[in-house]
């Protein structure tokens, strides 16, 4: 039996060195932000001046991600219940049904979508007042 060196097998691990000089296929997120498409479903905004506290958004939410909480300030005189929606982003699936059934169209989805936290309670979110 004759012994021979397998040069292809010995040199193949060094082929990865060529990848060090190639352009990466991913984006460097903090420094380069990707453009969002129009109509992207991000965080909720609520125009409190027109919100009537009807709780339609809570009723239609299939994941039970929306609950109505009582507020002390009066933003709208037509809001007799003085309640506004609070969204649990741990349960929300961004289906946008809540925005579809909002009678005064005060609840909308904006394009901002980054939310990172190690605490689950940080995902209970009051929609921004636009």
**pLDDT tens digits for 73-86?**
888 888 888 899 99
Q: Would you state the pLDDT for residue 130? A: 65
- Is the per-residue pLDDT at 110 higher than 90? no
The pair of three-digit structure tokens given for residue 92, joined into one six-digit string = 């929300």
Mean pLDDT along residues 28-34: 76
Q: Would you state the pLDDT for residue 101? A: 95
Q: Would you state the pLDDT for residue 71? A: 87
Q: Would you state the pLDDT for residue 15? A: 81
- Is the per-residue pLDDT at 122 higher than 80? no
**C-alpha closest to that of 61 among 97, 108, 89, 25:** 97
What kind of architecture, by CATH, is found in domain 30-129?
Answer: 2-Layer Sandwich (3.30)
The pair of three-digit structure tokens given for residue 86, joined into one six-digit string = 């609070």
Range of lowest pLDDT (6-20, 86-100, 111-125): 111-125
100 three-state secondary structure: helix
Boundaries of every domain in the chain: 30-129
């Amino acid at each position: 039996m004759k012994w021979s060196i397998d040069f292809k097998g010995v040199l193949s691990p060094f082929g990865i060195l060529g990848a060090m000089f190639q352009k990466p296929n991913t984006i460097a997120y903090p420094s380069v932000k990707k453009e969002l498409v129009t109509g992207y479903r991000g965080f909720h905004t609520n125009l409190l001046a027109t919100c009537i506290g009807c709780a339609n958004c809570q009723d239609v939410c299939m994941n039970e991600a929306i609950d109505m909480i009582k507020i002390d300030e009066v933003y709208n005189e037509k809001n007799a219940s003085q309640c506004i929606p609070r969204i649990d982003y741990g349960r929300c699936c961004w289906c946008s049904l809540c925005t579809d059934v909002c009678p005064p169209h005060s609840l909308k989805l904006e394009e901002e979508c980054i939310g990172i936290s190690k605490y689950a309670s940080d995902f209970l979110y009051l929609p921004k007042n636009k």
